[in-house]
Structure 1
Amino acid sequence: MRSIATVLKPISRNNQLLIVVMLLLVSVTQAQEVVTVDSTGVAKGSAEELTSQTVEKKDTVRTFKRFKAEGVTAVVGNYVILDTDIDKSYLELKQQGISVEEITRCELLGKLMEDKLYAHQAKIDSILIPDAEINNRIDQQMQYLITELGSEEKVAEFYRKESMAELRKELFEVNKTLQLASEMQRKVVENVEITPEEVREFFYSIPEDERPIFSAEVEVAQIVVEPEVTAEATQDVIDRLNELRRDIVDNGSSFASKAVLYSKDGSASKGGLIPAVRKNSPLAKEFKDMAFSLLEGEVSEPFETEFGWHLLYVEKIRGQEVDVRHIILFPEVTQSTIDKARVKIDSLRQEIVGGTIAFDEAARRFSDETETRNNGGQLVNPVTFDTRFDLTKMDPTLSAQVYNLKQDEVSQVFTDRDYTGKSKFKILTITRRFEEHPADYVKDYEKIKDLALKEKQIRAIEKWQEKKIKDTYVNVNADYQGCEFSSNWLKR
């Protein structure tokens, strides 16, 4: 199937997908994703070093040895695309491990012009992206960067900026443009609908030997039994944190040193530092509430989040941001509680296999996982949000447990560990299995409908682009006049 973000007519299907992946990698900064070096508009190294890393292509553009640092490649509406923007696109792909050997400068320029056209039209249509939404995204990016690099100074140095304010300003413009383009594209296709007759025509227009092959899929349910955390184990953690707190508050011991020695998460190596915490940061609510209730230099009492038990120290308050350090500990589970949990799940498995109780009923009554318990243990695919998992794309740990299971067969008990190292016992079953097969109109109607809808959206976007390019000022540098763009950027 063609990509919705069509770039050039001569592009192979693989190249189309790579360029769409590039767009997604640049724009998906949610869920604590970090914008790459080049997405900020900054490159590590001089202009000469940057362009020397670019893959030289013998396409419709003459081969360059060097590019002007501020050479203008194209103008779309109020947006300017520089030679270095294309170079940065190459580097972004390479940083993500994507081969750029078959991707030309023409293709990347076409994609960049498409993005700018969306953003330009979004402004004309008065599409507004709240500054708070963009700032929230930047906060997440900044927090990730500072955590990874260790300090604001190192982040600014890494991105070759004089200050964090300068970096934030540039990140703001990059994110705003991407958000405008994304929202504009969404509006172009939001009213595109597909009828059952159009789905039928789409499917039967594909020659039988060219119809897509759908991978094997499974629906999976699970039962989880966790070793009990006793009141005594919890109290031991609280007592230990109180002991650390007394040594810090009463004896002047270093909080950072205690975090390095005792904290049980990744921030320990940085002295427990979590910089630039804001009220909308993606942290546990209890953690943020505590961070903003303390004075600078104050150490909290032990408190609990879903992740464990914490001590928190406010290092610096800067307006709406606070730099904190924390120590996190987890209650220990005893061997007796581990053994008890194992006996419980072994017994459940025997009853299910023996037919005494159905798997879904056992999950509802005995599973310790609240997210799946009420629907009989049924897992939901976090990517598609339905219950089907493509065996070729599912989590390797899960795939290894279910790959050879037959429908309604129950797996052996296995141990799973979360990021804290805490063990839990699981059993799985395949509630439905769908073998790899050529697309079938009846069995795969919903998937075929999605493909047909995407095809119709592509046509809607192509039509929209054709009209808007005519109405928009577009100028392409003479060096790129030989490109065979799928859209009429050259207005010939």
Structure 2
Amino acid sequence: MNLKSINLITVLVILFTSLMATAQVTVDEKDNLLKNSDIAPEVLEATKVTEDGRIKIDGVAAVVGDYLVLESDISKAYLDMKNQQVGEITYCDVAETIMENKLFAHHAKQDSLPFNPARVESFTQQQISQFISQVGSMERLLEFYKIDTESELREQLNEINTQRMLAEEMQGSIVDEVEITPEETRDFFEAIPEDEIPLINDEVELAQIIVRPKVGEKERQAVIDKLNSYREDVLSGGSFATKAVLYSEDRGSRSSGGKITLTRDDNYVKEFKDAAFSLREGEVSNPFETEFGWHILTVDKIRGQQVDVRHILLYPEISSEAIEKAEEEIEKVRELIVDGKVSFKDAAREVSDEKETRESGGQLINNATGDRRFELTKVDPAIYGQVIDLKENEVSPVIKDTEPRTAKVFFKLITVTKKVPEHIAEFSEDYTRIRELALQQKKLKEINTWKEEKVKDTYIKINGDYKTCEFAKSWIKE
């Protein structure tokens, strides 16, 4: 099952009921009833209670170790996957997927795998920010899910994300040391029947040059002055959180008063982490610059290697003159490339404002595969429209675009450095792709072997119609 195709709102709907079923449970084998005292109140509401105060098992589809799987978990997940058009699925498919995740999470706890709660809180904050961007405000989000307070929402999301991340940690530990040799890759490829060798769709290799309008000293100083005025007001007793809500241009944290929880290992820019870990509780930083703009930051609480901070982010205004100048600059660069006076690669190294690609001559890397090739039908729709008609080594017209995070204007040139037409996979030509397929198959075998072993020594009970599912044969102990 490909649960990754479900958006975050859908995942929240699917998992809200699941998080309620995390208590250790006891099943009375004599009459197939769960003891009332073992079940959370929220689960009681979703099930039927017998006259003697016990819970009819037909409200619980399965028990896996420390976790319950409610029938409502499966029903909601099934309906949401159908709405998301996640291929052909059955209730049995959904039940198996949920039970597998519970199995992984259960054994991650049993094995005491290293687990960072700060990572959960950081991810929860990102989720809430994305939810709010979809529904409009925290108030509407709470109303949508019929939850009274933001803290209650965070607590429930943290429960959900803890279980999910435990499952990920367990799977990662199973396959961490799995590697694939060239010989195994060749054996994998040669074992594929000739009529089943995969078809590789049209692919392209891309490079780009980015030119951003330069911030003027006047605009830069205006932002610093604003942040200093906010800082002075906070030091005089004003609320940092209120100012973040009113003035911060960080859409992700603004609604929560600029609050971010992070550790030194989290993926934040160096300047931000340096500020976060150099202050004492209650201190407010001076304005500092990152690639995202200008910030002031205060530390709410220090908890060992984890800190709760609040920040205000401002972007300097870009003058119309600076925008015009950037456009003129990239037009001249394009003219030099088209006239053959400079190569695209050398121009990128000389003028591109994109640090990640500048040294490689603007070459883009596909994060999904780690190589240079992009399947044409899977590239970002915006990029697809910009490159579909380009010939190999042809340079696009100047493209005006905006940063998704800041909505600031920038300009770019794109070229197709190589086109690979649709073809039947060939070992040498498509080695990277074939190696990835072989490695994934090997990892999947390792996970399946682990699952078969753990099912034997884990308390598992499957109820009702789910006993007849094909997968249940290997889960039910005789």
Q: TM-score range by the shorter chain?
A: 0.7 to 0.9
Which residue of structure 2 aligns with residue 204 of structure 1?
A: 190
Backbone CA RMSD of aligned residues: 4.4
8 Å contact from structure 1 (residues 241, 311) kept in 2: yes
8 Å contact from structure 1 (residues 34, 141) kept in 2: no
1:467 is aligned, of 453, 461, 472, to 453
Q: Aligned runs of 1:303-314 on 2, under 5 Å?
A: 303-310=288-295
Q: 2:147 & 2:125 partners in 1: Cα distance?
A: 14
Which fold has the larger relative contact order, with Cα–Cα distance below 8 Å and residues 6 or more apart in sequence? 1
1:277 maps onto 2:269 in alignment? no
Q: 1:273 & 1:170 partners in 2: Cα distance?
A: 17
**Residues 25 and 69 of structure 1: CA distance in aligned 2, closer, same or farther (over 3 Å):** farther
8 Å contact from structure 1 (residues 50, 87) kept in 2: no
Q: 1:248 & 1:210 partners in 2: Cα distance?
A: 66
Shift of 1:468: 2.8
1:383 maps onto 2:371 in alignment? no
**Residues 48 and 397 of structure 1: CA distance in aligned 2, closer, same or farther (over 3 Å):** farther
Which residue of structure 2 aligns with residue 328 of structure 1?
A: 314
Cα deviations across residues 21-55 of structure 1 (Å, max 9, x unaligned)? Answer: 25x869xx9xxx996143243799x999999xxxx
Which residue of structure 1 aligns with residue 164 of structure 2?
A: 178
Q: 1:254 & 1:343 partners in 2: Cα distance?
A: 41
Q: 2:208 & 2:301 partners in 1: Cα distance?
A: 46
- The AA in structure 2 aligned to 1:274 is G
Q: 2:107 & 2:146 partners in 1: Cα distance?
A: 32
Which residue of structure 2 aligns with residue 73 of structure 1?
A: 61
Cα deviations across residues 71-114 of structure 1 (Å, max 9, x unaligned)? Answer: 222223333322232234235536xx513794222222222222
Shift of 1:118: 2.5
**Consecutive unaligned residues in structure 2, runs of 5 or more:** 21-41, 48-54
Which residue of structure 1 aligns with residue 23 of structure 2?
A: none
Q: What percent identity do the matched residue pairs reach?
A: 41
Which residue of structure 2 aligns with residue 116 of structure 1?
A: 102
8 Å contact from structure 1 (residues 143, 275) kept in 2: no
Q: 2:267 & 2:170 partners in 1: Cα distance?
A: 27
Cα deviations across residues 304-343 of structure 1 (Å, max 9, x unaligned)? Answer: 443334567x7x95786868584734232232x3333333
Q: 2:240 & 2:162 partners in 1: Cα distance?
A: 41
Which residue of structure 2 aligns with residue 39 of structure 1?
A: 15
- The AA in structure 1 aligned to 2:69 is I
TM normalised by structure 2 equals: 0.74
Q: Secondary structure of 1:392's partner?
A: helix
**Consecutive unaligned residues in structure 1, runs of 5 or more:** 1-18, 52-66
**Residues 323 and 444 of structure 1: CA distance in aligned 2, closer, same or farther (over 3 Å):** closer
Q: 1:129 & 1:454 partners in 2: Cα distance?
A: 24
- The AA in structure 2 aligned to 1:440 is E
TM normalised by structure 1 equals: 0.72
Q: Aligned runs of 1:370-409 on 2, under 5 Å?
A: 370-409=355-394
Which residue of structure 1 aligns with residue 25 of structure 2?
A: none
Which residue of structure 2 aligns with residue 229 of structure 1?
A: 215
8 Å contact from structure 2 (residues 455, 475) kept in 1: yes
Q: Secondary structure of 1:346's partner?
A: helix
Which residue of structure 2 aligns with residue 340 of structure 1?
A: 325
Q: 1:191 & 1:169 partners in 2: Cα distance?
A: 34
Which residue of structure 2 aligns with residue 479 of structure 1?
A: 465
8 Å contact from structure 2 (residues 245, 258) kept in 1: no
Which residue of structure 2 aligns with residue 60 of structure 1?
A: none
Which residue of structure 1 aligns with residue 33 of structure 2?
A: none
8 Å contact from structure 1 (residues 462, 487) kept in 2: no
